[in-house]
Amino acid sequence: MVASPGEVEAGLAELLSLVAAPLRVGVSPASSIAAATTAVADDRVVGELTSRLVDAGRSGDDVSEVWRDYEAGGEAAAFVARAWALSERTGAPLADALGAAEQVLRARQRTRQRLASAAAGPRASMMVLTLLPLSGPVVGLACGVAPRELYLQSPLALASLGLGLVLAFVAWSWSRAILARAAA
């Protein structure tokens, strides 16, 4: 099962907090990663990543490359890779770089949650308005008119049924596009 961007960002932020804490008290990056591995070894998002990070740290390989190559992490892992590489290049404290990256990932996660909450009402309205035309046959049945009599007795009724279905699909597609643009 593929993790959502929000799950990836949350998992990476948690991993960064676990790695940064020992770094702040002088533990080496390889040992910090190894210590964090025990806490997240079974995590479906970052469990595999931590074992590769430990291997790279122990062998002296470029750890930022492991972050960059972590495809499941997407843009969030690439962001951490850049923070890690920048720290190595400039000599800035790695704990501070990882702490800042963690804050950014958590802020992205909060923003994503706020957007989902803000879009919940319009999504519900979209679904109700899209499904509303389906109430026609139910009302017809309640009034004693079968859907076949209601829609298939005349060419005009059949044309209005087809037009209604097309317009409902267009409205639904348009609403999805508006919500997608608002969330982007």
Q: How many residues does the chain have?
A: 184
Residue 145, SS3 per DSSP: coil
Residue 15, SS3 per DSSP: helix
Per-residue pLDDT of the chain (184 residues), as tens digits, is 577 778 888 888 999 999 999 999 999 888 888 888 888 877 877 878 888 888 888 888 888 888 888 877 788 888 999 999 998 889 889 999 999 999 999 999 998 888 888 888 888 988 888 888 888 888 888 998 888 887 888 899 889 888 988 988 898 899 889 888 877 6
Domain boundaries, the chain: 5-110, 119-183
Q: What are the respective helix, strand and coil percentages of the chain, to the nearest 5?
A: 85, 0, 15
Q: Which two tokens stand for residue 158?
A: 């059949």
Cα separation, 17 vs 26, whole angstroms = 15
Burial status of residue 33 (CB atoms within 10 A of its CB: 0-12, 13-18, 19 or more): buried
Contact between residue 84 and residue 63 where contact means Cβ atoms under 8 Å apart: yes
